[in-house]
């Protein structure tokens, strides 16, 4: 079905309200992106989200938009706390898939001679694939429930990092209201062996360097300088989060019928926020989100351990500290100003990043003068970006920005393009080392499978949803 779309300006497009839509759609994209999107289903998903009860403001999509389950990936939608709904499709299967960025006191030239050994050590110390785990981390059922309640704080309290790390994580590394009793035995079973693992697919661990600084004053506040070695960690709640989503989709399908919610797509199944089903999903989702925060905290500890082993330097010399850690797939209760009035909303960000402005009380104190760090990974062959949130994002997108480059090709199509190529050798020739559990994952993640993240963040900056601070170039990539 063709979706009617109207150009507002060079980076905004309106999907007019019609039929069962309760509001309009708003897509942030340039002309070339829209031309591609008009051949896909993602715009229809933006329109479908606009039909859900209690939606406040437009159904939105960031420039990394592509097709997803129910909501598009890159989708943002807010729902009134009293009259709105919560939808697992608006969060996704990988609950709190997110990115953490570490800075160091090192420069790229210092680690270049030992980069091969560093890549090998990271690949060995940080479990990657679906079934891998650290033999020295055994999680009892009781301890797993503590992880679900305490998040990154659970890991820090056990020596995997420090309390200072927590100050640099969205929500300090724990979403409130988590209830481990709402997590199924199957979800607990899947999570128990996967805490502290990177996973497969588009998850990665990347050693990078700061290639370019665009705003020196903000970069100084974030602790970034040219040539500096950084590390990005991109992973989420693993099998536990997937199972939580799967479990609650069944509950929400029944709830949609129970509460008489008309759906244009059953993948948008949902429940009123004030209903028992809605409250239970948010509490279970918080558990999975906290698992993801703890997961990235453990991996951070093992990254530090790897650098120390390879370079023979101590923590005070390496200074591998957390810049920030952001959620990508989450639904959160937040207060926003809508038409001059404060309103309590449930903001769904699916493949989208919180981008709060300078002065916001939820921005960590050390960054409050410049805005929340916004971490935008690209693809393993090109670059990633660091931005900060803006007042424009607060006014237009409930403090939201894009989350990455966004896929152009399906995994199957990417494998076809990669056929006959030695991706690892081609990457090495460009100065990027790749360590992966299997060739299939590398083939799925080739640069051609993604939009150019420079173009994506360019739209974000032009629209006033974020300010570009720095570009990071990959040196070594670890994938599951």
pLDDT at 440 over 80: no
Q: What is the mean pLDDT of residues 96-110?
A: 98
258-287: per-residue pLDDT in tens? 999 999 999 999 999 999 999 999 999 999
Six-digit token pair at 14?
Answer: 């309106």
Per-residue confidence (pLDDT) for residue 212, from 0 to 100: 98
Residue 188 parent element (H or E): helix 185-192
Tens of pLDDT, residue by residue over 355-375, are 999 999 999 999 999 999 999
Q: Among residues 116, 168, 403, 412, which one is catalytic?
A: 403
Q: Per residue, what are the HEC states of 282-339?
A: HHHHHHHHHHHHHHHHHHHHHHHHHHHHHHCCCHHHHCCEEEEEEECEEEEEEEEEEC
Per-residue pLDDT for 387 more than 70? yes
Q: What is the predicted pLDDT for the residue at 202?
A: 82
pLDDT band at 418 (very low <50, low <70, confident <90, very high): confident
* Phi, psi dihedrals of residue 68, rounded to the nearest 5°: -140, -170
Over 60: is that where the pLDDT of 15 sits? yes
The mean per-residue pLDDT over the stretch 281-295 comes to 98
Those residues whose C-beta lies under 8 Å from the C-beta of residue 432, and which sit 6 or more positions away, are 380, 381, 474, 475, 476, 477
Per-residue confidence band for 130, with pLDDT thresholds at 50, 70 and 90: low
Q: Is 403 a residue of the active site?
A: yes
Question: Alpha-carbon distance 112 to 133, whole Å?
Answer: 29
Asked whether the predicted pLDDT for residue 133 surpasses 70, the reply is no
CA distance 228 to 210: 5
pLDDT of residue 381: 83
How far is the first Cα of the chain from the last one, in angstroms, to the nearest whole number?
Answer: 37
What pLDDT does 60 receive? 98
Residue 140: burial class (beta carbons within 10 Å; 0-12, 13-18, 19+): exposed
Task: Return the pLDDT at 1.
Answer: 63
Quick one: pLDDT at residue 413? 84
Minimal CA–CA distance to 328: which of 355, 356, 350, 347? Answer: 350
Higher local confidence (pLDDT), 356 or 409: 356
Q: Categorise residue 399: left if φ over 0, alpha if ψ from -120 to 50, beta otherwise.
A: left
| φ, ψ dihedrals at 310, nearest 5° | -80, -40
pLDDT at 134: 64
CA R_g for the chain: 21
Among 41-55, 175-189, 220-234, 423-437, the minimum mean pLDDT is found in 423-437
Q: Is the pLDDT of residue 132 over 60?
A: no
Give me 189's structure tokens: 């079973």
Two tokens, residue 13 = 């497009």
Residue of 142, 134, 154 whose CA lies nearest to 305: 134
């Amino acid at each position: 079905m063709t979706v009617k779309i109207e150009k507002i300006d060079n980076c905004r497009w309106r999907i007019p309200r019609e039929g069962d839509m309760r509001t309009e759609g708003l897509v942030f994209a340039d002309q070339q992106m829209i031309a591609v999107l008009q051949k896909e289903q993602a715009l229809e998903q933006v329109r479908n989200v606009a039909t859900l009860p209690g939606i406040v403001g437009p159904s939105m999509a960031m420039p990394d938009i592509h097709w997803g389950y129910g909501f598009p990936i890159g989708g943002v939608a807010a729902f009134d706390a009293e009259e709105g709904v919560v939808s697992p499709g608006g969060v996704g299967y990988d609950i709190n898939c997110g990115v953490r960025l570490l800075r160091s006191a090192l420069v790229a030239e210092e680690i270049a001679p030992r980069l091969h050994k560093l890549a090998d050590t990271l690949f060995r110390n940080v479990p990657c694939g679906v079934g891998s785990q650290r033999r020295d981390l055994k999680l009892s059922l009781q301890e797993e429930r503590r992880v679900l309640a305490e998040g990154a704080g659970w890991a820090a309290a056990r020596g995997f990092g420090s309390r200072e790390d927590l100050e640099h994580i969205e929500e300090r590394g724990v979403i409130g209201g988590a209830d481990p009793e709402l997590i199924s035995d199957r979800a607990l079973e899947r999570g128990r062996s996967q805490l502290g693992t990177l996973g497969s697919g588009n998850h990665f661990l990347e050693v990078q360097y700061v290639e370019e600084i665009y705003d020196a004053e903000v970069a100084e506040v974030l602790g970034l300088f040219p040539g500096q070695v950084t590390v990005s960690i991109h992973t989420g709640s693993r099998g536990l989060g997937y199972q939580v989503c799967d479990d609650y989709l069944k509950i929400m399908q029944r709830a949609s019928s129970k509460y008489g919610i008309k759906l244009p797509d059953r993948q948008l199944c949902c429940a009123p926020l004030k209903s028992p089903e809605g409250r239970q999903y948010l509490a279970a989702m918080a558990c999975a989100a906290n698992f993801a925060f703890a997961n990235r905290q453990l991996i951070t500890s093992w990254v530090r351990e790897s650098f120390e082993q390879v370079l023979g330097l101590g923590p005070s010399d390496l200074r591998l500290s957390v810049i920030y850690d952001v959620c990508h797939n989450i639904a959160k209760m937040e207060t926003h100003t809508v038409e001059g009035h404060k309103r309590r909303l449930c903001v769904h960000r699916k493949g989208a990043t919180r981008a709060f402005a300078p002065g916001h009380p939820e921005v960590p104190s050390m960054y409050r003068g410049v805005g929340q760090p916004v971490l935008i990974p690209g693809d393993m062959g090109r670059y990633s970006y660091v931005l900060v949130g803006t007042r424009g994002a607060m006014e237009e997108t409930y403090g939201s920005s894009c989350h990455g480059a966004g896929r152009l090709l399906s995994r199957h199509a990417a494998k076809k393009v990669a056929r006959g190529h030695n991706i690892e050798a081609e990457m090495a020739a460009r100065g990027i080392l790749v360590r992966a559990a299997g060739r299939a994952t590398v083939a799925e993640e080739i640069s051609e499978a993604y939009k150019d993240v420079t173009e994506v963040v360019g739209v974000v900056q032009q629209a006033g949803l974020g300010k570009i601070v720095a570009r990071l170039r990959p040196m070594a990539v670890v994938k599951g």
